[in-house]
Structure formats: structure tokens, C-alpha cells
């Protein structure tokens, strides 16, 4: 396979993938100006620690404030603000205990930022990771954008307003649990708005982002502006311009149960949030991962052949109820585990047991029967008793369960067993379980394709929604989310 350049250049020849620089759209910058000046109409200093060309500072030119920006690259910002070619992260890490103004950083009344979206693999982060972990905590050093959020809050003075547009994996990803806790403990949240998936598409990026407006200091009882992910950039711009946000109490934007990880949730209906007081899948049924081969080409075969006779399931994806094996595992897999350090068998007693295989990759969540005598990969697999297996299979393929996973628990990344184990299990009567079992068995025998599948899901949804007492508007919202899951996640 030929190797090709991975550079994504903007009009000025800047490699966006290397720098993590994506220009902030003007409607977002204008929103920050209106919102932040409504909270502080006379700021003395507005600061952008990753200024780029100054897109976020430009709308503040007529507010009477001093404008200041840092960046490690000089992108020729145009001279309308005080620019320093300086590394904000290292400057903050080197002066963690000094107050703003005394640490060589601007004593800002307002901080605005669109942090770079580079991931953990970037050379800069590798080089300085230990220093950042020591200064900000190891969780903050997962990637550059989370480092910027942590450093901005750390460096801000009490009362400072902070406007961020950033990659939104911090809302739910387990690795950012400490960052979420840090935000809630250090700041009041004014606004939490999900951006459309096409906001940066014209710059070559399909990234899921969010707007966060914070104020350094304790969270008060005032309500928070929220907006779910809109269908398009045009729709989003109208929402921002009109201020068409819903407001909610602070406790409505966070999963605060000890069984959860403080995930930020946006426009989740009360009836859905109430389900998180119910028992979770992992409390009722074993939820396990299995075999990591370390080298699928060596240990798995696409077709069943001599020496490879163990059906292997690792990600049903969009295949629901019934699925053929993803591959065939070598017969001597136990010997492979003994002789190869990277061939790992977890939860060995469950290998070969019948159960339910859950999807791990792909946007939508679903599940299929894991037959007796099968092996399974590092996706989540459930092992209920025979009397529970079929109704549970139906529930896992419901629109409600899809929404619980992708609209609440995890908006990005791989769906691991830890997330699946936390799916709420509503109280269902014996009669309801019987109805669901009947539909699941019928679907399994029918082996539905993508065209036939919605019919079975709709039948399951009617049973599950009614059993959960889900209000009709909430049913419509869940159905709409699942029908447009790529745009809404």
C-alpha cells in the first residue's frame, strides 16, 4: 500500500493536522462577544491563549478592552491585538501556584479559546507529557485540548469569564472524569451547547465540538443555557443568533450517581434521567470481555478451515439479533496464550458460554446472540440465564437503549464493557419480558437485513416505551435521535 501525505493545509499553507489549528467560525466568535459582554460589559483585558489569527478576539475590538493573545506559531494575526509568540501551556505549568498577573500571564477578565484538536499522539505532547502530568494531573495530559481547558481554568482569576469551543469528548469519556470534576468544582457553568458535526467541515474536519461558557468561582443555583446538537451549521447559527436555548438546573447537566462518572448530559429528558436510578446491566448480569489476539492475521481466519474452527465474535456493529462469526479462531488458542505474551485471554470461564455480543465500534449501539461454543473479543458480552437472554436481547436493540448509550453515556470512542455495564435496566413485568422475548426470537429466526430491521425495532420500542411510561414527546425525541444518530451524537 502506498504512503500518502496526511497534511491538511488551509489557505495559508498551515497543516491543520500538525498544528491542530482550525479557524473559529465567525458566528461562534460573535456569540462569545454577545454572551461574555452581557455578563461583564466593561472588561479591561480579553485574552486568547491559542490565538491563531485572532478570530475570537476580533469581535471584542470595539469593547474598550485591551486584547492580548499567545500562540506558539506566528500566523500573522493582523496587528489588532497584542501578540506574543509564547507557549501558554508551559508558562502555566511553570508557575502553577502564582496568582494571575504575578505569573507573567495576562490578568484577564475574559478568556476565549478554540484549543488545538491534536490527539495524544502529537510529538509536542509526548515531549512534555510528564511535565504536564506533574503540573495538571495525568488525566489532563490525555490530549492538547484537555490540557488547555485545565490550564485556562487554573490560570484564571476569580470571576474571570471563559468562553471555549472545543472537542467534546470530555463530556462523557472516562479518561476525562477528573476534568469534568475540575470544571464543576472550579467554575460556574453558564452555557453548554453542542455544535453541529459539519461546523468545521469546510476546513476538512468532521469533529464533534461543544461551546462552554464558564466563570471562575463556585457553581451557583442559576440555571444553565443548553442546546442539543443541531442538524446543520445553518440551524446552529440561527440558534446562536436568536439565543434559542433551553435553561436547566445545574443538577440536570450531570450524572451524579456514585455509579456514574459525572458525565455532562445535554437536553436529556427527565424520564430518561430517572432511569439512571434503576439497577445497571453489570449489577444484574455478568458483562465480560474476552480474547485479545495481539495479531489477528496470525490467530484468526476469515473462513473456517483446518486448525481454525472456533467461531469468533468481536463486534456485531449494525448487525442485530443474529450475526455470523466475524472470524474463526485457531483451535489451539489456549496454547497460543501460553506461548505469546500479547495473546491475552480474559474471563476464561466464559469462553464458549452462550450469551449476547454487544457492538463496540460504529455509531449506533446494538446486540446479537453469542452462540454456545463461541469465543469473543474485547467487545462487551453479557451472560444472562436462558430465561433472561431473549428479552434482554430485545431491550439492548431498542431505540431507548441506543439513546442511553450514545445520547447519554458515551458520545464518542469505543463502547467498552464498562459503559455497557452501566446501562440502566428498567423494571419490566413478566408479561412485558414475554412480549420482548417473542419479538427477539422472531427477529433472530428472520435474520433481518437493514431494510427489515426497523420493523422489529419499532415493535420493541412500543413495548419498552409503554412499560417505562415514557411520555410521547420524549419518545419522539429518542426516535429522532436514533434516526439521525450520526448528526445527533
* CATH code for the domain of 113: 3.40.50.150
If asked whether residues 372 and 443 sit together in one domain, one would say yes
Provide the pLDDT for residue 17: 46
If asked whether residues 233 and 328 sit together in one domain, one would say no
Provide the whole-model pTM: 0.90
Residue 220: exposed, middle, or buried by beta-carbon count in 10 A (0-12, 13-18, 19+)?
A: exposed
Give the span between the Cα atoms of 89 and 113, in whole angstroms: 13
Q: Is residue 2 one of the residues assigned to a domain?
A: no
Average the pLDDT over each of 6-15, 120-129, 208-217, 267-276 and give the range with the smallest value. 6-15
Q: Is residue 11 one of the residues assigned to a domain?
A: no
If asked whether residues 330 and 427 sit together in one domain, one would say yes
Q: Locate 377 and state its grid cell.
A: 473479543
Average the pLDDT over each of 136-145, 146-155, 362-371, 419-428 and give the range with the smallest value. 136-145
Mean pLDDT of 321-339: 96
Q: What is the CATH number of the domain that holds 388?
A: 3.90.220
Q: Is residue 6 one of the residues assigned to a domain?
A: no
Q: Locate 470 and state its grid cell.
A: 415514557
State pLDDT tens for residues 255-280: 999 999 999 999 999 999 999 999 99
Query: Domain boundary residue among 201, 235, 267?
Result: 267
Average the pLDDT over each of 151-165, 179-193, 197-211 and give the range with the smallest value. 197-211
If asked whether residues 480 and 416 sit together in one domain, one would say yes
- The answer to whether residues 400 and 464 touch, using CB atoms and an 8 Å cutoff, is yes
**Secondary structure class of 211 (helix, strand, coil):** strand
If asked whether residues 347 and 410 sit together in one domain, one would say yes
Residue 104 has pLDDT above 90, yes or no: no
Mean pLDDT of 418-422: 96
Residue 399 has pLDDT above 50, yes or no: yes
Residue 457 has pLDDT above 90, yes or no: yes
Average the pLDDT over each of 212-221, 415-424, 452-461, 474-483 and give the range with the smallest value. 212-221
Confidence of residue 29 (pLDDT cuts 50, 70, 90): very high
Provide the pLDDT for residue 201: 85
225: enclosing H helix or E strand: strand 224-227
Provide the pLDDT for residue 138: 80
If asked whether residues 311 and 172 sit together in one domain, one would say no
Provide the pLDDT for residue 78: 72
State pLDDT tens for residues 271-320: 999 999 999 999 999 999 999 999 999 999 999 999 999 999 998 888 99
Q: Is residue 439 one of the residues assigned to a domain?
A: yes
Provide the pLDDT for residue 4: 25
If asked whether residues 146 and 104 sit together in one domain, one would say yes
DSSP letters spanning 84-122 = EE--HHHHHHH-TTSPTTTSSS---SEEEE------TT-
Provide the pLDDT for residue 121: 54
Provide the pLDDT for residue 283: 97
DSSP letters spanning 51-62 = -TTTTTTGGGTT
Mean pLDDT of 5-30: 61
If asked whether residues 181 and 327 sit together in one domain, one would say no
Q: Locate 126 and state its grid cell.
A: 509526548
Give the span between the Cα atoms of 489 and 477, in whole angstroms: 13
Confidence of residue 99 (pLDDT cuts 50, 70, 90): low
Provide the pLDDT for residue 96: 63
Query: Domain boundary residue among 210, 240, 267?
Result: 267
State pLDDT tens for residues 70-94: 999 887 777 789 999 999 999 999 8
Mean pLDDT of 208-228: 92
By residue range, what is the domain housing residue 57? 16-267
Query: Domain boundary residue among 221, 242, 267?
Result: 267
If asked whether residues 294 and 173 sit together in one domain, one would say no
Confidence of residue 118 (pLDDT cuts 50, 70, 90): low
If asked whether residues 346 and 236 sit together in one domain, one would say no
Q: Is residue 288 one of the residues assigned to a domain?
A: yes
Mean pLDDT of 347-369: 95
Provide the pLDDT for residue 6: 36
State pLDDT tens for residues 134-166: 888 888 888 899 999 999 999 999 999 999 999
- Specify the length of the chain in residues: 489
Q: Which residues pair with 247 in a beta bridge?
A: 225
Contacts of residue 236, Cβ cutoff 8 Å, sequence gap at least 6: 27, 195, 196, 199, 230
Q: Which residues pair with 486 in a beta bridge?
A: none
Q: Is residue 275 one of the residues assigned to a domain?
A: no
If asked whether residues 308 and 214 sit together in one domain, one would say no
Domain tally, the chain: 2
Residue 16 has pLDDT above 80, yes or no: no
Give the span between the Cα atoms of 331 and 308, in whole angstroms: 5
What does pLDDT average to over the chain?
91
Q: Is residue 4 one of the residues assigned to a domain?
A: no
Confidence of residue 207 (pLDDT cuts 50, 70, 90): confident
If asked whether residues 92 and 179 sit together in one domain, one would say yes
Amino acid at each position: 500500500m502506498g504512503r500518502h501525505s496526511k497534511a491538511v493545509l488551509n489557505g495559508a499553507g498551515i497543516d491543520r493536522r500538525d498544528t491542530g489549528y482550525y479557524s473559529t467560525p465567525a458566528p461562534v466568535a460573535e456569540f462569545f462577544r454577545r454572551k461574555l459582554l452581557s455578563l461583564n460589559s466593561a472588561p479591561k483585558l480579553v485574552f486568547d491563549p491559542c490565538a491563531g489569527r485572532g478570530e475570537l478576539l476580533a469581535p471584542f475590538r470595539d469593547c474598550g478592552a485591551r486584547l492580548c493573545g499567545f500562540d506558539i506559531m506566528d500566523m500573522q494575526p493582523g496587528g489588532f491585538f497584542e501578540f506574543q509568540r509564547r507557549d501558554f501551556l508551559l508558562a502555566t505549568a511553570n508557575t502553577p501556584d502564582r496568582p494571575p498577573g504575578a505569573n507573567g500571564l495576562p490578568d484577564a477578565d475574559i478568556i476565549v479559546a478554540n484549543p488545538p484538536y491534536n490527539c495524544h499522539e502529537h510529538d509536542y505532547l509526548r515531549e512534555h507529557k510528564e511535565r504536564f502530568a506533574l503540573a495538571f494531573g495525568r488525566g489532563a495530559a490525555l490530549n492538547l485540548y484537555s490540557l488547555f481547558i485545565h490550564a485556562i481554568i487554573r490560570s484564571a482569576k476569580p470571576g474571570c469569564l471563559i468562553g471555549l469551543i472545543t472537542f467534546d469528548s470530555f463530556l462523557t469519556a472516562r479518561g476525562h472524569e477528573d476534568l469534568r470534576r475540575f470544571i464543576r468544582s472550579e467554575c460556574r457553568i453558564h452555557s453548554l451547547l453542542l455544535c453541529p458535526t459539519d461546523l468545521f467541515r469546510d476546513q476538512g474536519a468532521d469533529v464533534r465540538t461543544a461551546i462552554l461558557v464558564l466563570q471562575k468561582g463556585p457553581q451557583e443555583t442559576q440555571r444553565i443555557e443548553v442546546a442539543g446538537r443541531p442538524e446543520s451549521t445553518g440551524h446552529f447559527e440561527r440558534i446562536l443568533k436568536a439565543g434559542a436555548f433551553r435553561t436547566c438546573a445545574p443538577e440536570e447537566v450531570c450524572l451524579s450517581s456514585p455509579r456514574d462518572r459525572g458525565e455532562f448530559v445535554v437536553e436529556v429528558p427527565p424520564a430518561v434521567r430517572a432511569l439512571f436510578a434503576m439497577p445497571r446491566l453489570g449489577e444484574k448480569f455478568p458483562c465480560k470481555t474476552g480474547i485479545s489476539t495481539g495479531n489477528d492475521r496470525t490467530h484468526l481466519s476469515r473462513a473456517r478451515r483446518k486448525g481454525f474452527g472456533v467461531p469468533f465474535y468481536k463486534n456485531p456493529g449494525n448487525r442485530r439479533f443474529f450475526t455470523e462469526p466475524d472470524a474463526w479462531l485457531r483451535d489451539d488458542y489456549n496454547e497460543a496464550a501460553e506461548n505469546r505474551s500479547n495473546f491475552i485471554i480474559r474471563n476464561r470461564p466464559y469462553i464458549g458460554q452462550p450469551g449476547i455480543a454487544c457492538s463496540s465500534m460504529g455509531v449506533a449501539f446494538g446486540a446479537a446472540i453469542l452462540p454456545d461454543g463461541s469465543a469473543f473479543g474485547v467487545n462487551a458480552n453479557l451472560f444472562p440465564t436462558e430465561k433472561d437472554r431473549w428479552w434482554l436481547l430485545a431491550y439492548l436493540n431498542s431505540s431507548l437503549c441506543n439513546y442511553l448509550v450514545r445520547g447519554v453515556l458515551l458520545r464518542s470512542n469505543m463502547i467498552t464493557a464498562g459503559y455497557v455495564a452501566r446501562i440502566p435496566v428498567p423494571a419490566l413485568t413478566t408479561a412485558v419480558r414475554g412480549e420482548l422475548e417473542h419479538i427477539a426470537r422472531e427477529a433472530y429466526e428472520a435474520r433481518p437485513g437493514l431494510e427489515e430491521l426497523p420493523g422489529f425495532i419499532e415493535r420493541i420500542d412500543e413495548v419498552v416505551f409503554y412499560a417505562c411510561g415514557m411520555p410521547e414527546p420524549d419518545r419522539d425525541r429518542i426516535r429522532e435521535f436514533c434516526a439521525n444518530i450520526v448528526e445527533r451524537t
